[in-house]
Structure 1
């Protein structure tokens, strides 16, 4: 069995590299050299190589043997495909739950944090608040496969969303969150699913001016 210490280092390398790709610190097309990354992260090369392999499987890194390993470009079709899958998983969660008052309050709190972050230009806080808001029905539904699928594909979408939430279209996302919470509060599952499809549908259709 693998030693815990090594597993934790591997996870740390993966999480830090994925975060750097999503927030743009490692921009699309940037070459990834395990030696350099290991030095900058203060880790050995083994966990960094493992992290790169995981990120390649997730579509955030691309590699050609004996040629390059680099951050993937932001490809519209890849973002749209990921959004379609993630949106479907959120649909599934919304159809399977009736949220408690406490869970709805958590969504409202996250929605308020999202709105403040968008208006204040704090994209990291906006991402965190958006994750928290949408996670409430997913966690309430208890479908582990749906949750894992969302976690797997969301980073592909987040790179595009960072560009949008600095624009006036962030206000549309604020309104859509309010509409989603209102529908869930009234127990209108059909309306909640319809709003959710609008939220994710803009990306699915390749309209990068209207993502959540």
Structure 2
């Protein structure tokens, strides 16, 4: 299997989350393609860690639906599955809807400014066709609500469901269809600044449900 050119990119003190995120990102970005076999020795060489954190990361990735473990045979990158993606999209949309509804009453001027700044970076990244920066800015935008909502279960549920959508997000953010999200973000900001929690929550939900659409 092809792996990124750098070897031993992590120290032995690497947290298990970093191993998980490295493999997850390689799957999402397409370095590890659907159906490709993931081999422990090659992952160990690439990441510079022992087998234990790699196996822990693979278990998390299996729960997230990004890999398929075949006992006694192989561990492969899961193919893109429309049904699983649709299920994850519904969960993510519902969690973000709830986060916005809970967060809006607590938002302050700093939060609103943070939303606007993140959306501006998102728009610039899309214009520059920089998918990685667009994803980062989009995450920053939505994280304002997630971190302010006060419900600690929402981030953990999103961590479980969101990875399945990353491949769809990357496809969308590399197309002109993503420009629509800039306007939706602006509307979410407007409604949030007015204290309209329900309106902002519904706009956020529709924004996430639009992932995978061709419009």
The verdict on a shared fold, with TM-score over 0.5 as the criterion, is: yes
Equivalent residue for 1:129, pick from 137, 145, 154: 137
Matched, 1:209 2:214: yes
What's the Cα RMSD here? 1.7
* TM-superposed deviation, 1:9: 4.3
Superposed counterparts of 1:139-150, under 5 Å = 139-150=147-158
| Secondary structure in 2 matching 1:187 | coil
CA contact (8 A) 1:74 1:160 kept: no
State the Cα deviation string for residues 114-173 of structure 1 (Å, max 9, x = none): 111111111111111111100111111111101211122111111111011111101111
Equivalent residue for 2:127, pick from 105, 119, 137: 119
Write out the 4+ residue segments of structure 1 that deviate beyond 2 Å after TM superposition. 5-12, 207-210
Equivalent residue for 1:84, pick from 87, 90, 114: 90
Match of 1:165 in 2: 173
Pick closer, same or farther for the CA change 1:9–1:196 going to 2, 3 Å.
Answer: closer
TM-score, normalised to structure 1, is: 0.89
| Secondary structure in 1 matching 2:210 | helix
Matched, 1:200 2:205: no
Distance 1:37 1:147 in 2: 27
Structure 2: give runs of 5+ residues left out of the alignment.
Answer: 1-10
CA contact (8 A) 2:12 2:48 kept: no
CA contact (8 A) 2:12 2:49 kept: no
| Secondary structure in 2 matching 1:143 | coil
Matched, 1:102 2:110: yes
CA contact (8 A) 2:122 2:137 kept: yes
